[in-house]
Amino acid sequence: MTAISNRRGEVACVAAVGFMALLFLAQAALPGLFAGMGRGTFMVVGCLTKLVLEGLGALLAHRAAGGFDPGTHVRRAWRLLSLGLLGFFLAQLALSRYQIARGVQSPFPSLADVFFVAAYPLLIAALVSFVKAYQEAGFPMGSASERWTLMGLVLALCLGLGYPMLAPVAGTAAPPLEKLLNLAYPLLDLALLVPTAFLLRVTLRLQGGNVQRVWVALLVGVLALAGGDIAFAYFSTLDMARLEPVVDALFIASYGSFAWGSLAQRNLLSR
């Protein structure tokens, strides 16, 4: 009965996140459908949704870490993930005083960017610790030459995709700090993709099951985060207002996936 209840909780989490993400995508695709709702309504809803998902993800990741032995890479990974999500939560909390309390678009850059930037090294360290945890558990990571080849391919792909996407942002006349942050966030995401590729390689070999569900959720969170940062760079630097709901949808999908993965891990440990 507990297993069924836990699975229902995960399904409810995925359904709620999916609904909210689709709501914002619908706003971008069919703006006339929401003509009766002001822009401020979506801004408040988006801010509250992200706060809930970030806070929930941080709490669940912290609890998941407690299920592993002290000193292990996997415990350290969940702790770092929890701290990274807490950084996102604090950043969103800083934005909420504009978006919720005042009903206006938050400035960029702002205090929130201090917490956002600080969260990325924690997430990168978490993913690296997850890779080490895979090795610690005896999962096949491939030979040294295979790992170097994979890293080279990922870096080449990141450079191939990153340059054409970020060149327009770099070429704008935006203030230096704003431009720097709009370039830094996608570049940090590209750094996240390197350990993500190693995790994805092993995850695909798990061939289903409860463990694979945890990792798939976390990897979707990383990919959606990268997409959200790239969309935000275009929205804020190139003044592409139609991308604003897409940014919200991608970040909601990202934080929701992190929360789902953390919930799935906690449920797995409770069996």
Domain ranges of the chain: 2-269
Whole-model pTM: value is: 0.89
Provide the 8-state DSSP code for 1.
-
Structure confidence at residue 198 (pLDDT): 81
Share of the chain above pLDDT 70, in %: 89
Q: What does the pLDDT read at residue 2?
A: 63
239-259 pLDDT per residue, tens = 666 778 899 999 999 999 999
How would residue 193 be classed by pLDDT, with cut points 50, 70 and 90?
confident
Task: Tell whether the model's pLDDT for residue 151 goes beyond 80.
Answer: no
- Count other C-beta atoms under 10 Å from residue 176's C-beta: 7
Q: What is the pLDDT of residue 259?
A: 95
Question: Taking a C-beta distance cutoff of 8 angstroms, is the pair 55, 70 a contact?
Answer: no
pLDDT of residue 192: 87
Q: Quote the pLDDT of residue 240.
A: 67
Cα 28 → chain centroid: 20
* Span of 35-44, 70-79, 203-212 with lowest mean pLDDT: 203-212
Q: Is 27 exposed, middle or buried (0-12, 13-18, 19+ CB in 10 A)?
A: buried
CATH 1.20.1070 fits 2-269, yes or no: yes
Kindly tell me if the per-residue pLDDT of 100 is higher than 80: yes
Average pLDDT, whole number, for the chain? 85
Cis peptide before 168 (omega within 30 of 0): no
The string of pLDDT tens digits covering residues 54-66 is 999 999 999 999 9
Question: For the chain, how are helix, strand and coil distributed in percent, rounded to 5?
Answer: 85, 0, 15
Predicted pLDDT of residue 233: 80
Average pLDDT over residues 108-133: 93
pLDDT at 223 over 50: yes
For residue 182, the one-letter residue type is N
Average confidence (pLDDT) over 191-208: 77
Residue 28 confidence (pLDDT) above 60: yes
pLDDT at position 252, please? 97
pLDDT in tens, 71-92: 899 999 999 999 999 999 999 9
pLDDT reported for residue 1: 43
Q: How many residues does the chain have?
A: 271
- Pick from 147, 133, 122, 258: nearest CA to 198: 147
For residue 35, the number of C-alpha atoms closer than 13 Å in the C-beta half-sphere is: 2
Average pLDDT over residues 167-196: 83
**With 60 as the cut, is the pLDDT of residue 166 above it?**
yes
Instruction: Provide the pLDDT for residue 140.
Output: 65
Q: What is the DSSP letter of 70?
A: T
Cα 132 off chain centre by: 21
Structure tokens belonging to residue 56: 């929930």
